[in-house]
A and B are shown apart, each in its own frame.
Chain A
Amino acid sequence: MPPEAVGGSIQTEIDRIAANVTAALTACADKGASVPDGSTSDDLAAIIAAIEAGGGGVTAVSGTFTLAADATNYTVEHGLGKTPTFAVLFQDSSYPRVDYSPFAIMHINGSIYGIHSGTSFSKSSCTADITSQTPISKYNTGRFVHAIHSATSDSIVFGYHDDNAAVTSNGYGLKASTPYYWIVGYEE
């Protein structure tokens, strides 16, 4: 094989790999990664590792809880590490203890939404943001008030609250033995 042909083939391959590395570094930069000038393929692994999982957008955690006894409220240790900007609580309506429910309540960036007894979907303005306890972020169903409040970077309180905006001991809003599903998250 002529030497020129061998050299040309190797150069072609080097050019192709170099172009691929450049394209990969550019893609990392587009994903928000810090790509220092002069980065090479040696730096690729570290640059990719530094990109946050999910590449931005929404980070959320979810879970369930089933209370051992009726309660006015329940604190979920979500462990997000950041104060959430949204939260959802949903009750499984297939269970028998739904005499005042089922319900679903959502707090999303300052608005509160609720569904009660499967009859309607409503939106209410929050009386406070999601981190406040008094007044609360609530969905007023008339007789019963479901609420999401006191969110921190580690925990959030779901519960039942009197209309006077204080945590109440008058009544039992969350039912024992009924599964509640929750999602808590924040937008990047």
Chain B
Amino acid sequence: MTRRYNAQYNDAGVLVAIGTGPGGVEITEAEYNALLAEIVGKAQAVEQLYAGEIEAADVPDEWRAEVERRVAERIEAEGEAAQQEISGEELAAMLEEVL
């Protein structure tokens, strides 16, 4: 069976997700792989910038505005990386790892 690759865009034409199976707009495997590489790269940049591991200047120019916006959204939703609230369950799990 041939795998179907798809991409989902919002009303503004911004990529929301890629996937396999039904739904979205059909794309080629090469297009899928290219979009996946971009998604993973941006996610890593967001993660590193959020964690303070890199500076905004380290992010590729063409990604910088989006990455900074996503980091700001994450800070608004979850707080600064060093100030996150954790549940008792998560705290217990952390303690189990070190004790």
Contact = CB atoms under 8 A, between A and B. Distances in A.
Interface of A: 61-71, 74, 76-79, 96-97, 117, 119, 142-143, 155, 170-172, 175-177, 182
B93 A63 contact: no
Given A62-B21, A63-B19, 16 more contacts: A63-B20, A63-B22, A63-B23, A66-B18, A68-B14, A74-B17, A77-B23, A78-B23, A96-B44, A97-B43, A117-B93, A142-B89, A143-B89, A170-B77, A172-B77, A176-B70
Secondary structure type dominating chain B contacts: helix
Contacts of B19: 63-66
Give the interface size bracket for B toward A.
20 to 34
Interface of B: 8, 14-24, 35-36, 39-40, 42-44, 46-47, 70, 73-74, 77-78, 86-87, 89-90, 93
A124 B43 CA distance: 32
Contacts of A74: 16-17
Nearest to B43: A177
B44 A177 contact: yes
A96 to B, nearest CB: 7
B87 A96 contact: no
